[in-house]
A and B are shown apart, each in its own frame.
Chain A
Amino acid sequence: MSEKSNFTPPINKEEALNRIGGEEDFLNELLDIYREEFEKRYAELEKAIAEGNFQRIREAGHSIKGASANLSLPALREAAYEMEMAGKNEDLDVAQKTLKKLKMEFERLQNFLGYKS
């Protein structure tokens, strides 16, 4: 019980709830939409990285960044921003590393949400 995680939580729930008007149910609905959207974009990223399509990498990174910001997911937002930059800078190495980071952060969020609920 006393085991407290010493890392920052993947979601700043208070901030997110504040932004959307305080309804927990609605936040959960948005997180469901986010999950679906993330998986779609993630698949796009995998494909774009395999093809070296930097424009698509940038766009998908940008999309995830926006959605993450709306729900106050700082780590995912940060990783998505790095992905957008990797696309812009046409840096495939960074893109590949960031893809792993995105996946890790996404799983961390899902675990966190699963643990919480």
Chain B
Amino acid sequence: MKKIKNSASSKNNLPILIAEDDPVAARLLEKKLKEWDYSIYRAENGEKAWELLRRPELRIAILDWMMPGIEGPELCFRLRQMKKSHYTYLILLTAKDTSFDIIQGLEAGADDYMTKPVNFLELKARLQTAQRIIELEDSLLQAQKKLIRLATTDPLTHAWNRRAIIKFISEETNRYQREGRPFGLLMIDLDNFKLINDTYGHQSGDQVLKKMVTIFKNNLRNYDRIGRYGGDELIILLPACNVYQTGTVAAHLLNLVRQNNFRIRGKTKIKVTLSIGGTASETISKINLNNLISTADRALYLAKKMGRDRVIIFGDSVNYEIMEKKNVRKK
């Protein structure tokens, strides 16, 4: 007997709501559940129960069928309607035991039911089932989250991957058409990336890329989106930025990277530069995903062609270079 108790207490027992208007039954349940190391919330009527049920930490509830205010099945129904973020396991208690009532309770959204007076050995086993189902649900949710993360991020840099950043750009384009809020798009290329790889090895190239994304993340707003578009090509989406703000941000990033010493293989420090091509929503008359990306791409191509280490912003109406190449590498 002692052993069973200990094994139950070693588990992480979830808190349980007891919604029961009969104080004898409520006290009895409370004592038993505490013996089994559950922490307890109590509600003596339906309204109080409804208030507590909505709390995210409450994952298991024992609900009396007949209660003043909101009755058990109605509570089940309401909770299932509201789509709580975490599943809550509901056990109905009923003095009735005809099959009609049971069906009614289960259809309202209960997971299980017990007839009163409660057989406690049975209740204990049923609570273990509840706990198991909640844990299963949680691990499924976690697995789903992990899969979503894997499917949307780039494993090396932890920036968004190509598919995800494209989706964000599409969504931002739709928002622009709906609400007129402008946005900027930057396409960024690490200058002479091949040379870094050839000179110091691919791992060093990876390190530089990773560090660059970190610099961007630390200096952009948390709702700006950084995506890895290709090998050493990154895209940055800047919501609520017009063409001038987009240019300013691009110039800022260009300078940050210029000034940074990239540490590779633990000690060697190297300098790198960027070529940035950019565009903004309001400079493109027929806006769509392809036009945006090809415009930024053309700007990037020109930035490289003109000698790298610079920003070029393109649009239907604007066409200018923001920053001349500067020689920051002093010997």
Contacts and interface: CB of A to CB of B under 8 A. Distances in A.
A33 B23 contact: yes
A58 to B, nearest CB: 10
A20 B28 CA distance: 7
B5 to A, nearest CB: 12
B231 interface: no
A75 interface: no
A66 B31 contact: no
Most A CB atoms within 10 A — which of B22, B23, B32? B22
Given A21-B32, A26-B31, A62-B95, A70 B22 contact: yes
Contacts of B27: 29-30, 33
B95 A30 contact: no
Interface in A1-58: 19-21, 26, 29-30, 33-34, 36-37
A66 B22 contact: yes
Interface residues of B, number: 17
B68 A59 contact: yes
Interface in B4-51: 21-25, 27-28, 31-32, 35
Chain A contact-residue range equals 10 to 19
Contacts of A67: 22-25
A92 interface: no
Contacts of B119: 19
B244 interface: no
A28 B24 CA distance: 11
Nearest to A62: B66
A69 interface: yes
Nearest to B32: A21
Contacts of B31: 20, 26
Interface of B: 21-25, 27-28, 31-32, 35, 66, 68, 95, 116-117, 119-120
Given A66-B116, A67-B24, A71-B24, 12 more contacts: A19-B120, A21-B32, A26-B31, A33-B24, A33-B27, A59-B68, A62-B66, A63-B22, A66-B25, A69-B116, A69-B117, A70-B22
